[in-house]
Amino acid sequence: MAKTATYGVLHMASSFGIAYALTGSVTIAGAVTFVEPIVNTGLHYVVDRYWDHPTVCRVRQLISRQTPVQSRSHPAHPETARS
């Protein structure tokens, strides 16, 4: 439990620090610090709820089957290129 609490405090402190650094406003940084975890909690619920949905499973399978595409500007090294 202590690890979870420590993570929560560090998360809120970093959220406040980043928002304050970007905006210079304590009010906006404070709002972001409390709104952001609420949004993340909602998104986490949605992901957990639909993670095992058949359509989502098919999409994950399709993504995992794809191989990385080589960039034309950065071709693969000849010794490591697949034939």
pLDDT for 33: 93
pLDDT for 70: 55
Cα-Cα-Cα-Cα dihedral sign, residues 24, 26, 29, 35: negative
Q: Which long-range contacts (CB under 8 A, 24 or more apart) does 35-39 make?
A: 37/11, 37/12
C-alpha distances out from residue 40 to 2, 34, 46, Å: 21, 11, 10
Q: How far apart are the first and last CA of the chain?
A: 51
Q: What is the pLDDT along the chain (83 residues), one digit of tens a residue?
A: 888 889 888 989 999 999 999 999 999 999 999 999 889 889 989 888 888 888 888 888 888 887 565 555 555 555 555 55
pLDDT for 56: 86
pLDDT for 40: 87
